[in-house]
Amino acid sequence: MVKAMWNGAVIAESDATVVVEGNHYFPRKDVRADYLVASDTHTTCGWKGVASYHSLSVDGATNPDAAWYYPEPKDAAAEIRDRIAFWKGVEVR
């Protein structure tokens, strides 16, 4: 079981993550949506496509753009469709 934790809260927990470039991508259904806040940030990866972001909000603390996902990944990254990954101090173990 893999967990993503930040600010004392379990943000995501799953036994079905997909690891790409060292990052665990959690199925969206295994991520606590109540901790996610939509962000206007987008970045582009040459082989995965355009990433969108969420900030995390836990107990009054915010971690900007700490979660990312690919709404429409390129074919080479199809396995991460409907999955979310974390960084910026989010502990994944």
Number of domains within the chain = 1
Give the integer Cα–Cα distance in Å for 48 and 29. Answer: 21
Amino acid at position 84, single letter: I
The domain of 58 spans 2-92
Asked whether 40 and 65 are in contact (CB, 8 A), the reply is no
pLDDT tens readout for residues 25-72: 999 999 999 999 999 999 999 999 999 999 999 999 999 999 999 999
Asked whether 83 and 28 are in contact (CB, 8 A), the reply is yes
pLDDT at 47: 97
Q: CATH no. for residue 15? A: 2.170.150.40
